[in-house]
Amino acid sequence: MLELKRLNSGYGRAQVLFDFELRLGAGEVVALLGRNGAGKSTALKATMGLLPLFSGEILFNREKLQGLEPFRIARLGLGYVPEDRRIFTGLSVRENLEAGRQPPRAGAPRWTPEKLFELFPNLGRMRDRNGVSMSGGEQQMLAIARTLMGNPRALLLDEPFEGLAPVIVDAVAASIRELKREGLSVLLCEQNLRYARLVADRACIIEMGRICHTGSLAGLDSDPALRERYLSF
Amino acid sequence: MSWESILIQLLNGLAGASSLFLVAAGLSLIFGVTRIVNFAHGSLYMLGMYLAVWLSGRVGFWVAVPLAAVSVGLVGFFIEFFLLKKIYKAPELLQLLATFALALVIKDAALWAWGPEDMLGPRAPGFSGAVNIAGSAVPQYDLLLILLGPLVLVFLQLVLSKTRWGILVRAASEDREMAGALGVNQRWLFTGVFVLGALLAGLGGALQIPREPASLNVDLRVISDAFVVVVVGGLGSIPGAFLAALLIAEAKAFCTGLGYSEATLVIEFVIMAAVLVWRPWGLLGRAQAPAKNPGFAQAPAEFPARKVFIAGAVLLAVLALLPVAAGGYTLVLLTDMLVFALFATSLHFIMGPGGLYSFGHAAYFGIGAYAAGILVLNKITTMEFALALAPLAAGLGALLFGWFCVRLSGVYSAMLTLAFAQIAWSAAFQWNALTGGSNGMVGIWPAPWLASKTAYYYLTLILCAAAISFFWRAIHSPFGYALRAGRDSPQRADASGIDVRAVQWAAFTIAGLAAGVAGSLYAFSKGSISPESLGIQRSVDGLVMVMLGGIQTLTGPLWGAALFTWLQDATARNLDYWRAVTGMVILALVLLLPNGIGSFFQKKK
Ligand SMILES: Nc1ncnc2c1ncn2[C@@H]1O[C@H](COP(=O)(O)OP(=O)(O)OP(=O)(O)O)[C@@H](O)[C@H]1O
Ligand SMILES: [Mg+2]
């Protein structure tokens, strides 16, 4: 589905990613784990075309993404939810969803605001509320819902559980599992192994911009030394 | 001065507010999405006026107005598609310069198409009569315009809140990058918004023709009025633009109604000051995130090494020896070059190290020139004293205007500098008793001992060289470091105990003072002054000089000023369309050589 090959990228002259490699299979949920500043967000931004690639190749359903503008990448069916959510605060919930709407796509689940309000009942209760007055959890749900309005085939989620209350974490995790059932592939950045365990099939660990471990979550659970070395939680 | 006359003026003001609102709304809309302040927006309004007058004679008023608006929208399409698309990622300053250049080109296009004479428009058929209100005749057409403003406001609000396009425009105004990551093609959004904004400006102009003839001066007047409106109302807010247009138009109308039409400039100023102190982002505006691509990524100006000192000394020696060989004409040209070298250096000081964009630096040049003229012609002081005092007047002007400009950043500040220059120009143009109005002043000659071209050249050389080296020293003094720190990261500078605003204010004032020196030297060398000496064109000249020389370089303004003055002397006097040529040169510079000729030579080395 999504394949990142030897990505080198960064901000201006400061390189952050070094020969970064990752594969995301169809219908798979992969957790990209790493400490603060390891380069997780950078990897997602580079994939989404928000950062220039110094070199490397990105394949998405056999289409090359490198060099494409972000809106083209989004229109190929890759959805992105940034870590700071970036919902449009001057727009209502409905309008935020409208801003994310794209035509239906073959081979991807088709979302409507009504379906999304079922997936995130909290949002359904505040359709006309402005983005300014929403809690962190509500904003996170809205950010995911807004991206789903583009009917993506794969999702890039950047730390979706950050700063959420435990109940909300469970709710968001449940909806991510629901998305997987609908056939979406998800690449999710996470610092916290506990949260990753809620949803992910597989984990990749990033350290200083390089992938240094790939394997099952069970494998990670049974290897305290590995956890100690690369993760803080 | 009765209640009736005030009422009539208020109605008159409301009618004017509608046109102003249309321009300001377009300006705001375009800025919201593209982050470009369109300095050519007043020119689009002017184009709307001319087109409407011209078309009225062929197809009648009521067809001509929408046709003119649509045509201006089409012009907007071409501007956006062929020029702006190329500079969306360019530094803010270059974007401002490019749209500014466009204004010059459009003005000359109108001059070419319709000639220099004002063009009187027809009355609006069906609305040519008057209505009796409180014993006075109010034109029906004014009442129509009064109605039209709120209608357009409601229409725009509906489009923005109810259509998908409007929602995307609002989303992109808030976070362009995120909108892109959601699959929104900004390219068409930008084009669409620009076309709508241009159309509104064109409509505003077209609707104005029964009230006012189309003239070539409209563009700058309207753009500076619109700038004041968006600064007061809040850039990016359409209801804000409406509110501010009403407020300003009514305040001005009230002054006129009371019989103090001279006070209209002052009242505008007072309103702006009050709003900026009370709500720095305008009545209904929101704080702007700092620009993603502000000024230039500037290498710190290199410390003048020994070589540069020696080169400077040699240059100075050559300049000092020149009068032996050069004739009178060359001396006058050299004097001009020196004066403009100082003017450009002072402008460069606030734009380069200071990071403040000034689109109205000529105001201080002009204040200096006028002050010198007024002092000498009214026999208040001798020429020598006038030369010493006049720059102080310019410095005072800069002190006053600068207070506002440093309170705002980036485009806001740029808009204010232009608005202030326009105010200074209006004052010089209108204040007949003091400034001679549009005729200017003549007979401003230097003292007898400086009367020869050679003596005056030496005086200019000494003063300009001293002032320029003062600026070079200042850049490398603690003051200069503080200034650059404030430009590069205001927060960090603030945290380390630098009062960024105070430093910038001081720099602005010093630069104004130096421009005043240049201006008063210029006045005595020419013997006369006219309002052109503080006109927008002079400000543009300064910008072109700085651009030509390259904003990153220390000595750039000198080369830029010399080259520009020489070029103007050699060609401009024979050209009818010098504005268009300047505009084209700026556009070419922005698109091809954004770092100036200085940097071009440096790369070659
Ligand atoms: N806008 C930026 N400009 C320059 N450097 C940046 C920028 N954003 C991040 N970096 C640097 O890139 C590196 C990786 O940052 P990144 O945001 O990808 O980390 P992360 O793994 O997402 O961390 P976190 O868990 O804190 O979100 C860090 O060293 C960071 O300092
Ligand atoms: Mg991150």
Please check whether residues B487 and B341 belong to one and the same domain. yes
Give dist(CA B265, CA B16) in Å, integer. 16
Q: Domain of residue B98: give its range.
A: 19-216
Assign B177 a pLDDT band (cuts: 50, 70, 90). very high
Q: How do A185-190 and B136-139 pair as beta strands?
A: unpaired
Q: Is B314 on the interface with A (CB under 8 A)?
A: no
pLDDT averaged over chain B?
Answer: 86
Tokens read off for A44: 């997602």
The C-alpha torsion from A183 through A187 and A189 to A195, rounded to 10°, is 30
Residue pair B394/B365 in contact (Cβ under 8 Å)? The answer is: yes
Please check whether residues B369 and B495 belong to one and the same domain. yes
3-state secondary structure of A38: coil
The pTM for the full model equals 0.85
Assign B89 a pLDDT band (cuts: 50, 70, 90). confident
Amino acid B494: pLDDT: 81
Q: Tell me whether residues A74 and B180 touch, CB distance under 8 A.
A: yes
Q: B535, B551, B573: which is the final residue of a domain?
A: B535
Residue pair B60/B125 in contact (Cβ under 8 Å)? The answer is: yes
By CB neighbour count within 10 A (0-12 exposed, 13-18 middle, 19+ buried), where does B445 fall?
middle
Residue B189 has pLDDT above 90, yes or no: yes
Please check whether residues B181 and B60 belong to one and the same domain. yes
Residue B294 has pLDDT above 50, yes or no: no
Please check whether residues B202 and B336 belong to one and the same domain. no
- The 10s digit of each residue's pLDDT in B108-127 is 999 999 999 999 999 988 88
Residue pair B32/B92 in contact (Cβ under 8 Å)? The answer is: no
Give dist(CA B56, CA B63) in Å, integer. 8
Q: Between chain A and chain B, how many beta carbons pairs sit less than 8 Å apart?
A: 59
By CB neighbour count within 10 A (0-12 exposed, 13-18 middle, 19+ buried), where does B110 fall?
buried
With respect to residue B574, please indicate whether it lies within any of the assigned structural domains.
no
Q: Tell me whether residues A71 and B174 touch, CB distance under 8 A.
A: no
- The 10s digit of each residue's pLDDT in B361-397 is 999 999 999 999 999 888 888 888 888 899 999 999 9
The closest ligand to the CA of A190 turns out to be 1
Amino acid B594: pLDDT: 62
Quote the minimal CA–CA distance from A215 to chain B in Å: 30
Residue A209 near ligand 1, beta carbon < 6 Å: no
With respect to residue B377, please indicate whether it lies within any of the assigned structural domains.
yes
The predicted model gives B225-243 an average pLDDT of 89
Amino acid B536: pLDDT: 79
The closest ligand to the CA of A34 turns out to be 1
Residue B289 has pLDDT above 80, yes or no: no
**Residue of chain B whose alpha carbon sits nearest to that of A147:** B182
Residue A16 near ligand 1, beta carbon < 6 Å: yes
Q: Return the closest-CA partner of residue B291 out of B487, B160, B98.
A: B487
Q: How many CB atoms lie within 10 A of CB B273?
A: 14
Amino acid B6: pLDDT: 80
| ipTM of the complex as predicted | 0.93
Taking the centre of ligand 1 as the mean of its atom positions, its distance from the CA of residue B93, in whole angstroms, is: 29
Residue pair B136/B4 in contact (Cβ under 8 Å)? The answer is: yes
The residue count for chain A? 233
Q: Tell me whether residues A91 and B170 touch, CB distance under 8 A.
A: yes
Q: Tell me whether residues A74 and B177 touch, CB distance under 8 A.
A: no
Q: B506, B535, B564: which is the final residue of a domain?
A: B535
Q: What is the strand order of the sheet A2-11 is part of?
A: A14-24, A2-11, A53-60, A63-64
Give B529-594 as a DSSP string.
E-GGGGSHHHHHHHHHHHHHH-TT-SSHHHHHHHHHHHHHHHHGGG-TTHHHHHHHHHHHHHHH-T
Residues of chain B in contact with residue A147, where contact means CB-CB under 8 angstroms, are 182
- The 10s digit of each residue's pLDDT in A190-214 is 998 889 989 999 999 999 999 888 8
- The 10s digit of each residue's pLDDT in B132-171 is 887 788 889 999 999 999 999 999 999 999 999 999 999 9
Please check whether residues B337 and B212 belong to one and the same domain. no
Q: B171, B186, B216: which is the final residue of a domain?
A: B216
Q: How do A14-24 and A185-190 pair as beta strands?
A: unpaired
With respect to residue B280, please indicate whether it lies within any of the assigned structural domains.
no
Give dist(CA A150, CA A79) in Å, integer. 7
With respect to residue B255, please indicate whether it lies within any of the assigned structural domains.
no
With respect to residue B552, please indicate whether it lies within any of the assigned structural domains.
no
Q: What is the strand order of the sheet A210-216 is part of?
A: A78-81, A154-158, A185-190, A29-33, A202-207, A210-216
Residue B295 has pLDDT above 70, yes or no: no
The predicted model gives B47-55 an average pLDDT of 97
The predicted model gives B41-68 an average pLDDT of 96
With respect to residue B480, please indicate whether it lies within any of the assigned structural domains.
yes
With respect to residue B152, please indicate whether it lies within any of the assigned structural domains.
yes
Q: Which of B88, B173, B178, B185 to mutate to test the interface with A (most CBs of A within 10 A)?
A: B178
With respect to residue B558, please indicate whether it lies within any of the assigned structural domains.
no
Residue A191 near ligand 1, beta carbon < 6 Å: yes
Structural domain count of chain B: 2
Give dist(CA B546, CA B530) in Å, integer. 24
Amino acid B445: pLDDT: 85
What residue's CA is closest to ligand 1, atom 2?
A11
Please check whether residues B473 and B332 belong to one and the same domain. yes
Quote the minimal CA–CA distance from A227 to chain B in Å: 33
Quote the minimal CA–CA distance from B279 to chain A in Å: 20
Give dist(CA B596, CA B591) in Å, integer. 11
Residue A84 near ligand 1, beta carbon < 6 Å: no
Q: Return the closest-CA partner of residue B190 out of B288, B96, B88.
A: B88
Give dist(CA A30, CA A35) in Å, integer. 16
